[in-house]
Amino acid sequence: MKTRATIVMYHGRLAREWKAKTRARCPCYKMEFVVEHSYLIPLLPLLGAIIAGLFGAKVLKQRSHWPIWLGVGASAVMAIVLLVGMLTHNTDHKTLYFFSHWFTWINAGDASTGIFNVSAGAFLDPLTAVMLTVVCGIGFLITVFSKGYMHGEAGYFRFFAYLGLFIFAMCMLVMGDNLIVLYLGWEGVGLCSYLLIGYYYDKPAAREAAKKAFIVNRIGDLGFAIGILLTFYCFGTVSFFGDMGANPGFLQKIAEMSMVGPDRLEFWIPFFLMIGAFGKSAQFPLYVWLPDAMEGPTPVSALIHAATMVTAGVYMIVRLSALFVGNEAAMITIAIVGAFTALWAGLIALRQTDLKKVFAYSTVSQLGFMFVGVAVLSPVAAVFHLITHAFFKALLFLSSGVVMHATGGELDMRKMSGLKKLLPKTRILMLIGCLALSGFPLLAGFWSKDEIVHAASTKSLLLYGVLLFTAVLTAYYTFRLYFRVFEGPEVIPQSHHAGHDKHDDHQHADHQHDDHQHADHQHADHQHADHGHHNHGHHNHEPMSMMLPLFVLAIGALLAGIINLPFAAGIKEHSLGHFLSQSPSFVLGLQQVEKTYPAGLSETDHLGFGHAPTGEQAFDIVPLIIGGAAAIVGIFIAYLLHLKNRPKADELAGKVGFIATAIDAKFWVDEIYNAIIIAPLRAIGGLLWAIDRYVVDLLVFLVGFIPQLTGYIVKRTTQRGYLQGYALSMLLGLVVILLWVFV
Amino acid sequence: MVDPHIAFSGAFQTLAAVESNPTGIVATAPLAPAIVVALCVVAGIATWLLLPGKREAAVRRIGGIILLATGLVFGAILVRWTTQLGGMSVYFWGFSAIAIFASVRVITHTKPVYSALYFVLTVFATAGLFVLMWAEFMAAALVLIYAGAILITYVFVIMLASEATTGAVGAAAEEVGSEHDLLSRSPFIASIIGFALAGLLIFLILDKGAQIPTPNRPVAGDLGSAQELGRNLLEENAINVQLAGVILTVAMVGAITLARRRVMVTPHDRSIETVVSPGTPVEDNPHSIPVYGTMNPRHKAYPET
Amino acid sequence: MPEIFTNIALQHYLIVGGLMFAIGMIGFMTRRNLIVMFLSSELMFQGAAINFVAFGAYWGKMSGQSFVIFILAIAAAEAALALAIIVLLFRQKHTVDSQAFRELRG
């Protein structure tokens, strides 16, 4: 390695020496504490989950959020301390990382078979710090929001216990220094996702959605597991970086290898890992579970299915970028899948009428952007977009949660309009979120999305066109939602019972909890006879405990862009890109890129890995203008069709009837899967069932029937209750024995 | 006085000398297995015919005659065999014949009372055999206990448990009695198996009998003395005597518990206490089964219909 | 009266005892009257008793006769209990037909 860092091992003499040194040199001794006790970050939420899970039902009841608040909050503080410490860690070295070894988890095999050694420990580098801050920080905000949102639910403690478990698993995922720990977290978040989607398990739709999410993720995870096995088979280790010295991890090994072709097994590892990422991050063939996952409570949608878990695939590819970027075929595959998913999901989102479904497809689409970012050799842009997306998408989901709260669980945008009077604060927040999502200039989404689009433009014009078009679509469907719901004539869903009847899917349980809410209100306010009406203004639909996290998220959605502005060389030094470039993953990734593309390495590629370009960088404002223009065009179309002249939208849709129908049907993907996968499987299952039932069971029955028949015959012929019959049998036996013995 | 040992000794002497034993030395097996089998088959069929059933009285009589003939043949063969070796006393033959005949009548008579009386005859014959074996005390005890005590009980029970005769059954129209007395249960199989056992026993006794070792002590003359028996009982079998006493006591208590009757009083005639049978003991057992003042049949030990 | 109880004599007595046993057994199996059935079982006791006494005489020991005493005791006990049971059964069904009591049937 060109840039060697001090290897910081946190045990024994080395640790003490390092402690003494850093204490003298580095003011951020708080970070030192975090590094030394990094196990607390996943452990505290886990403890909170255990406490909430064990004592929530009987002891804590509606106070079950406290252990989670405390656990996740402490983790969030530690994560921020770590991040700040790393940012201010004044080191001359190009790489910045800490190992924190907890214990040896698995130690198997010997020299002849290969040593399978898995250490449970944290690998803390800028990437991990950023991810931890996102996970714990946004996680904490969402747990705060959930207190108000989930108030009065039957399984209140269960919700928070799952949430704590999820934060634990997600922390393990981003902190693990090897694939096995990453996989542990990977499966852990999948489990929590399953549990939380199926939170309203008495609803069939929620159960089905949970099963669907779990099964679709199994397909991806199978690929991921094969990838891990192949990694160990090829490299003899599953550790990312080993100890950065004598025992290199597989990322260093692949970096030192020459180019691998399709004839080598190493070539195929990224493809298998990619399948896992596509499953977890809801990319094209495997995205179908994410829209259905909106059956879960809205905070879950915000945290797991928008901000954190679904980005695990992006994180994994960024973390293993040394393995991926050297493999051109894999990168092209990811780029195609990502771009296609972005466009595909953007198209479907155009005609969704359910608020959460729109955002779900939007999430799929934005994840596609992130994958493209990784694929066009710009992992910094991908991580940047990941962060900003976490802010504004969580904001959007939570805001729609507030809308649901206020409208009695109604989420159909056709049934509501002009809610700006009812929910003034939410309207502002929603507007900020929508602007950020659509990439309106100077908001968070603008910078991050533009960086990806710009990076893509240097690789392929087609890719650039697709992304730009998708950006227009994004702006359009986002503002279609906004204009429909908050602007225009005021239409408030009058009775949530009507909504109850028609929307017997995911709103159903929210009704219940809403009923609780209203019951409470009714106690407080008796003259409020029809509590289905919300326009009396008697009670506040925007309680502070729910709005406060939204404000924080809104600030993030507004300003998160400044962490990685594309211009101003002075700021560059402290930008996200510069920070991330100290991560060993990025260093190795850049090495790989340099090796793979010796000639055609552009300035953007350096930038993509967070490295300042060698030459003078000409700041180009044109891509920014184009990106901003795309957003504004989209917003303007939405304004025309959904605020100014709403019937026109339906008119237009009528003109392109087939396309609209196709989009409405979500391109029949579920139906196609049903026809080509599920139906044949079901048929095979039916056949096997028939074989089992009529052949195997018949044999079993026959085998069982023989003794049964014998027993019946014997019973009917001998066990007749006649005393003398028994005596006769006894005597017969006696005679036979005597004959046997003496004759 | 005629020496019983030589009473029959000359009867088949010539035959034996000529046919089987020219040297006068007896072969170990007096009966070929085939003859035993044949005799047993014939006896079995005869017993089948003789046992009560839906047959003509004449058929039963034929069966009796065949069985008698078979017994005589068997006895004759045994006598011929024995005579060469000094013979058995004529009393043995007599008592044995009476015992076997009476036994057959016990199981073939259609009237239980007659069966019991034939059983008394069997007991007497057995007592005679005991006397032949110098067991005079046992003979007396057998007669006293069996014929005097047990059989009287049987006769009592026969009278107690008598029921109205169901009249003629099947072909045995001239006989009068209950159906279960007039009909046997699977007589053929039982006869065959029973005589298979008998044949097996005879064969075994005759085949293996010679191998029984000869006692080195000749029989003492005091075998029949009651003193010797008492000494043996109380010296060598003291524990068994105690156990026998316990068994008898338990049996007595059990018999009393089982057979006594309960008093059943219906609520509406509490004043009239119906004592169904005499000697009903005062009920002092907390687990006693009859409950005064209830009609619940479950509270009765034995539903008396 | 001979002082020696010979092997041959022993065999004869055993045969008589065996025959009585077999006849008793046939009676037990064929007769349907419970009382007669128990009489048949007494016959079987008799056959066994003859064998005991015969062996006792053969060996010149009193044990054979001692055991006949026990047989008598057991027979008496059995007779008492059996007859009590018969009385009981008769009270239940007003019959002593063994075929009538088949509650043990499978």
Q: What are the contacts of A497-503 at 24+ separation with CB within 8 A?
A: A497/A532, A499/A407, A499/A408, A499/A409, A499/A410, A499/A412, A499/A415, A500/A409, A502/A412, A503/A409, A503/A410, A503/A411, A503/A412
SS3 content of chain B, % helix, strand, coil (to 5): 65, 0, 35
In the predicted structure, residue A503 carries a pLDDT above the cut 80: no
B180, B241, B261: best to mutate for the C interface, most C CBs within 10 A: B180
Chain C interface, best mutation among B51, B201, B211, B241, by max C CB count within 10 A? B201
Chain A residues whose CB is inside 8 A of the B194 CB are 731
Closest residue in C to A711 (Cα) is C106
CB neighbour list of residue A452: distance below 8 Å, 6 or more residues apart: A369, A370, A372, A373, A376, A378, A381, A382, A385, A467
| Nearest chain B alpha carbon to A733 | B193
Please answer yes or no on whether C102 and A728 come within 8 Å at the CB atom: no
Q: For position A540, what pLDDT does the model report? A: 66
Q: Which residues of A touch B185 (CB under 8 A)?
A: 722, 724
Count other Cβ atoms within 10 Å, centred on residue A132. 28
Distance CA C71, CA C63 (A): 12
Give the residue on C whose Cα is nearest the Cα of B140: C69
Whole-number pLDDT of residue A505:
39
* A-C contacts at Cβ under 8 angstroms: 35
Quote ipTM for the complex. 0.93
> What would the 3-class secondary structure string for A463-530 be?
HHHHHHHHHHHHHHHHHHHHHHHHCCCCECCCCHHHHHHHCCCCHHHHHHHHHHHHHHHHHHCCCCCC
Please tell me chain A's helix, strand, coil percentages from 3-state DSSP, rounded to the nearest 5.
75, 5, 25
Express as a percent the part of chain B with pLDDT over 90: 19
| Contact (CB<8Å) B185/A742 | no
In this prediction, residues B173-179 reach a mean pLDDT of 63
Q: Which residue of C has its CA nearest to A726?
A: C29
CA distances from A547 to A150, A233, A550, A555, B24 (A): 14, 51, 5, 12, 130
B-C contacts at Cβ under 8 angstroms: 290
Residue A694 has pLDDT above 80, yes or no: yes
Across the A:B interface, residue pairs with CB atoms under 8 Å apart total: 27
- Is residue A12's pLDDT more than 70? no
Interface of chain C toward chain A, CB-CB under 8 angstroms: 25, 28-30, 32, 37, 98-99, 101-106
Inspect the interface and report whether the beta carbons of A724 and B186 lie closer than 8 Å. Answer: yes
Instruction: Average the pLDDT over B192-218 and give the result.
Output: 82
Q: Which residue of A has its CA nearest to C104?
A: A721
Contacts of C52 (CB under 8 A, 6+ apart): C64, C65, C67, C68, C71
CB–CB contact C3 B187 (8 Å): no
| pLDDT > 90? residue B175 | no
Mean local confidence (pLDDT), B160-186 = 66
Residue C96 token pair: 């002593």
Q: Mean pLDDT across the stretch A147-164?
A: 87
Tokens representing residue A703 in the block: 């085998």
In this predicted structure, the answer to whether residue A298 has a pLDDT above a threshold of 70 is yes
Closest C-chain CA to B188 = C30
What does the pLDDT look like over A699-716, one tens digit per residue?
988 998 999 899 888 888
Give the closest-approach CA distance of A734 to chain C in angstroms. 12
* Residue A714 C-alpha, separation from nearest chain B C-alpha, in angstroms: 18
Average pLDDT estimate for B221-248: 85
Which residue does chain A place closest to C106, by CA atoms? A719
Average pLDDT over residues A135-141: 91
Q: Considering only CB atoms, which chain A residues are within 8 Å of B200? A: 735, 738-739, 742-743
pLDDT of the residue at C27 = 92
Span A596-610, average pLDDT: 66
* Residues of B whose CB is below 8 A from C86: 157, 161
Chain B residues within 8 A of C15 when measuring between CB atoms: 78, 201-202, 205-206
Closest CA to A22 of A85, A75, A101: A85
Q: Does the pLDDT value for residue B17 go beyond 60? A: no
Q: How confident is the model at residue A567 (pLDDT cuts 50, 70, 90)?
A: low
Q: Are A437 and A474 in contact (CB under 8 A)?
A: yes
- C101 touching B, CB under 8 A? no
d(CA A346, CA A475): 10
The answer to whether the CB atoms of C106 and A723 lie below 8 A apart is no
| Cα–Cα distance for residue pair B77/A622, rounded to 1 Å | 137
CA distance B111 to chain C (A): 9
Question: In the predicted model, what is the mean pLDDT of residues A653-663?
Answer: 76
Q: What's the number of CA atoms in the CB half-sphere (13 Å) around residue A643?
A: 19
SS3 state of residue A260: coil
Of C29, C99, C105, the CB nearest to A728: C29
Neighbours of chain C (3+ CB pairs under 8 A): A, B
Contact yes or no for A724 and C101 at CB 8 A = no
Distance, in angstroms, between A714 CA and closest chain C CA?
9
Which of A526-535, B30-39, B177-186, C12-21 has the least mean pLDDT?
Answer: A526-535
Closest by Cβ to B215, choosing from C46, C59, C77: C59
Predicted confidence (pLDDT) at residue A732 exceeds the cutoff of 80: yes
| B chain contacts of residue A732, beta-carbon cutoff 8 Å | 193
Residue of C nearest to B181 (CA): C33
Q: Kindly give the residue spans of alpha helices, DSSP state H, lying in A597-645.
A: 603-608, 622-639
Closest Cα in chain B, distance from residue C101 (Å): 12
Assess contact for A112 and A276: CB atoms under 8 A: no
For residues B170 and B77, give the distance between their C-alpha atoms in angstroms, rounded to a whole number. Answer: 39
**Phi and psi, residue A178, nearest 5°:** -150, 170
Residue in A714, A724, A731 to test binding to C, most C beta-carbons within 10 Å? A724
Q: What is the token pair recorded at C91?
A: 């009270």
State how far residue B262 is from chain C, nearest Cα, in angstroms: 12
The answer for B167, left when phi > 0, alpha when psi is -120 to 50, beta otherwise, is left
Minimum CA–CA partner of A722 in chain B? B185
What part of B 193-252 touches A (C-beta under 8 Å)?
Answer: 193-194, 196-197, 200, 203-204, 208
Spatial distance between the Cα atoms of A70 and B15, rounded to a whole number of angstroms: 120
**Each residue of B258-282: pLDDT tens digit?**
877 665 555 555 555 555 555 455 5
- pLDDT at residue A70 is higher than 50: yes
pLDDT digits 0-9 by tens, B118-132: 999 999 999 999 988
In the structure encoding, which two tokens stand for residue A123, read together?
A: 């690998």
- Name the β-bridge partners of A217: none
Confidence category of residue A599, pLDDT binned at 50, 70, 90: low
> Is residue A707 within a helix (H) or strand (E), and if so which, with residue range?
helix A697-718
Asked whether residue B7 carries a pLDDT value surpassing 80, the answer given is no
Please list every residue in chain B whose beta carbon sits closer than 8 Å to the beta carbon of residue C48: none
Mean pLDDT for chain A overall: 81
H/E element, A107: strand A98-108
